[in-house]
Amino acid sequence: MSYKNFPMVPRVIFGRGSFNQLSDIIAPKRLSINAPFIFLVDDVFKNKTWLTSRIPTSYDDRIIFISSKEEPKTSQVDELVEEIILKTKERPSGIIGIGGGTLLDLAKAVSIMITNEGETKNYQGWDLVKNPAIYHVGIPTISGTGAEVSRTTVLTGPERKLGINSDFTPFDQVILDSELTKDVPTEQWFYTGMDCYIHCIESLTGTYLNAFSQSYGEMALELCKEIFLEDSLTKTDAQEKLMMASWHGGMSIVYSQVGVAHAMSYGLSYLLGTKHGIGNCIVFNHLEEFYPDGVKLFKAMKKKHNIVLPKGICADLSDRELDIMIKISLSLEPLWENALGENWKKKITPKKLKELYQKM
């Protein structure tokens, strides 16, 4: 038995208003006045001066606003890297991602691709990255994905939706300032928050579970219950706790794996472009068979916050389209093995998956 040796985020700052320390944090990392910091920022903040005016740019530093309407693509990373390299005199001092999972994943991927040759799609998989990334900082503005701690950056490529999983992927620095999440709309708050909840359920019920993952997973699950089922928290408390739930949920899967909901949600995302958070919710809602307790609680949370999920998103799909989704989903072997054990192929068949998708 050989145990995996995982990297962790080496530096993290936590606290309301800690975003103001960004300037002090990155200043010593500036390589030269010709080596700018590149800030990749969700374009939802474009006219939000309370945030943008606090982004500490100097010399040739640049802010690039990016839409998170669609999930990150390998071609998008290639284009960004090209644009950054063309417009900078020297290799940038660092990449700073400000936004949700989409922007955090883009920041990780761009920081890797600045020092690694060829196209991004060639690095989708496990441990294919050869050179260390440039300095990169993650600043989440919505909580749940765990992308701020994880060792992966999830990208849709021409052939698959798969992360760049590598020791060079995790951020060098993370800033957890829950104030940045204050304006997240309720539905999006729920969908991304449920990503965290589902990470916990899939990790805690999986066959890969171990004491490391369990300790983080149980902590995150308790926080989720408090945030989504109780009324006792102040808004600030709830925002801070969800930020920590996301972190712990991410730490839990670092050393285990996700499961059925993620495997099926990747299929939806690949074919229909369904976003991760809402896709997970749509799938999880139909997974009583695999996660009876988890789904029961999920439905209670959904009811409490008056969330109405889209229905019938697979109703008009052709057999060929369904087959593509099924193929993408079944290709995520570690997820199925974690969820159903070594003999997972006997327990989940294309036919069974088709029936499930058709219910969604």
Site for Zn ion in 192-211 (CB under 5 A): 195
Closest approach, Cβ 2 to Zn ion, in A, equals 27
Closest approach, Cβ 154 to Zn ion, in A, equals 8
Residue type, 204: L
Contact code string over 158-197 relative to Zn ion, x by CB under 5 A: -------------------------------------x--
266 CB-contact burial (10 Å; exposed 0-12 / middle 13-18 / buried 19+): buried
Closest approach, Cβ 276 to Zn ion, in A, equals 6
Q: Which residue is nearest to Zn ion (CB)?
A: 195
Residue type, 194: M
Site for Zn ion in 257-286 (CB under 5 A): none
Q: Select the residue interacting with ligand NAD from 74, 93, 150, 285 (CB under 6 A).
A: 150
Strands 94-99, 136-140: pairing kind? parallel
Closest approach, Cβ 294 to ligand NAD, in A, equals 17
* Separate counts of helices (H) and strands (E) for the chain: 14, 9
* Residue 178: contacted member of Zn ion, ligand NAD, none (CB under 5 to 8 Å, by partner type): none
* 138 part of the interface to ligand NAD, by CB under 6 A: no
Between 26 and 263, whose beta carbon lies closer to Zn ion?
263
Between 55 and 278, whose beta carbon lies closer to Zn ion?
278
Q: Where are the beta strands (DSSP E) in 47-118?
A: 62-66, 94-99
* Residue 51: contacted member of Zn ion, ligand NAD, none (CB under 5 to 8 Å, by partner type): none
**Is residue 269 within 8 Å of 280, Cβ to Cβ?**
no
R_g over Cα of the chain: 20
CA atoms within 13 A on the CB side of 277: 23
Phi, psi of 173 (to 5 degrees): -150, 135
Site for ligand NAD in 27-66 (CB under 6 A): 42, 44
* 259 part of the interface to ligand NAD, by CB under 6 A: no
Which two tokens mark 302? 């959904």
Q: Tell me which DSSP letter residue 135 carries.
A: P
User: DSSP for 197-211?
Assistant: HHHHHHHHTSTT--H
Site for ligand NAD in 288-347 (CB under 6 A): none
* Residue 146: contacted member of ligand NAD, Zn ion, none (CB under 5 to 8 Å, by partner type): ligand NAD
Q: Select the residue interacting with ligand NAD from 22, 95, 154, 332 (CB under 6 A).
A: 154
Tell me the number of residues near ligand NAD by CB under 6 A.
Answer: 31
Q: Own/partner pairs for 302-306, CB < 8 Å, 24+ apart?
A: 302/190, 304/228, 304/229, 305/186, 305/190, 305/228
Which residues contribute to the site for Zn ion (CB under 5 A)?
195
Point out which residues bind ligand NAD (CB under 6 A). 42, 44, 68, 71-72, 99-103, 105, 141-142, 144-147, 150, 152-154, 180-181, 183-184, 188, 192, 195, 275-277
